[in-house]
Amino acid sequence: PPQTPVRAAMNSIAQLRVDLTASGDQPSANLAVYFKNCTVDPTKEVLQRVESLSQLFFQRFGQAVGPRCVGLGKQRFTLGIRLYYRVMESMLKSEEKRLSVQNFSKLLNDSTFHTSLLACALEVVMATYGGSSTTGVYSNGVSPETDLSFPWILDVFQLAAFDFYKVIESFIKAEPNLTKDIVKHLERCEYQIMESIAWRGDSPLFELLRQTHEDGPVEQAEPTAT
Amino acid sequence: SHDYHFGLEDHEGISELFDCD
């Protein structure tokens, strides 16, 4: 029978949970190998960052939804962490194949990369749970009035939208199990960033544009047709 | 099953986007 919005949301939540059951809360053996292959092993920083970002997330989730729902926040964060490690491994495998490189020291020691990747994983989890709030239906334990939808996660992690934007396409490429609705949601996040958020005063986009401008035009403008 | 518009070129990936190439 055709699915009601609630049934569809419940199914995608169940699918996400089943899907991530096999993924661990810690870096996998393959990830540990990538970390060891780095000039500077990022393992300790990765685990410390996860710990500190988890505290931030729990606190803000509790503030937004209510202190009695901190357990819900922990559930969501756990799913987010599993997806974060899984997508990271998948990304590194494809980069290894594309670049014939095993040492990803610079990337894996880049805090912005990790924070953006975790934020994107959490946004997928929140969108999967929060789907009902867009339909205004109370089915995931969170009242529709609490808006945890994008760009809430950027504010929690104090992450620049432009940095979040950088991981979206690679995230979708690396995680074939994403549902059509979630891919569409991430695409909407891209539009939202490019149309407005990335142009806010404190965005790193301006610095990038300034650098590009100083470097001068890379390509000559095409001559006008006579 | 989705119709996401991939925009990165073959020679571009997450390493380039984070200036780690």
Q: How many whole angstroms separate alpha carbon B15 and alpha carbon B21?
A: 5
Q: How many whole angstroms separate alpha carbon A32 and alpha carbon A202?
A: 35
Q: How many whole angstroms separate alpha carbon A40 and alpha carbon A117?
A: 20
User: In chain A, what residues touch B1 (CB-CB under 8 Å)?
Assistant: 180
**ipTM of this complex > 0.95?**
no
State the distance between the two ends of chain B, measured CA to CA, in whole angstroms: 31
Task: Give the Å distances, CA to CA, from A30 to A38, A57, A222.
Answer: 13, 27, 48
Q: Find the angle CA(A43)-CA(A22)-CA(A131) to the nearest 5 degrees.
A: 100
> How near does any CA of chain B get to the CA of A167, in Å?
7
pLDDT along chain A (226 residues), means of 10: 74 83 90 97 97 96 87 93 97 96 96 98 92 44 67 95 95 92 95 90 84 71 66
pLDDT for res B21: 63
CA nearest to A100 within chain B: B21
> How near does any CA of chain B get to the CA of A62, in Å?
32
Identity of the residue numbered A118: L
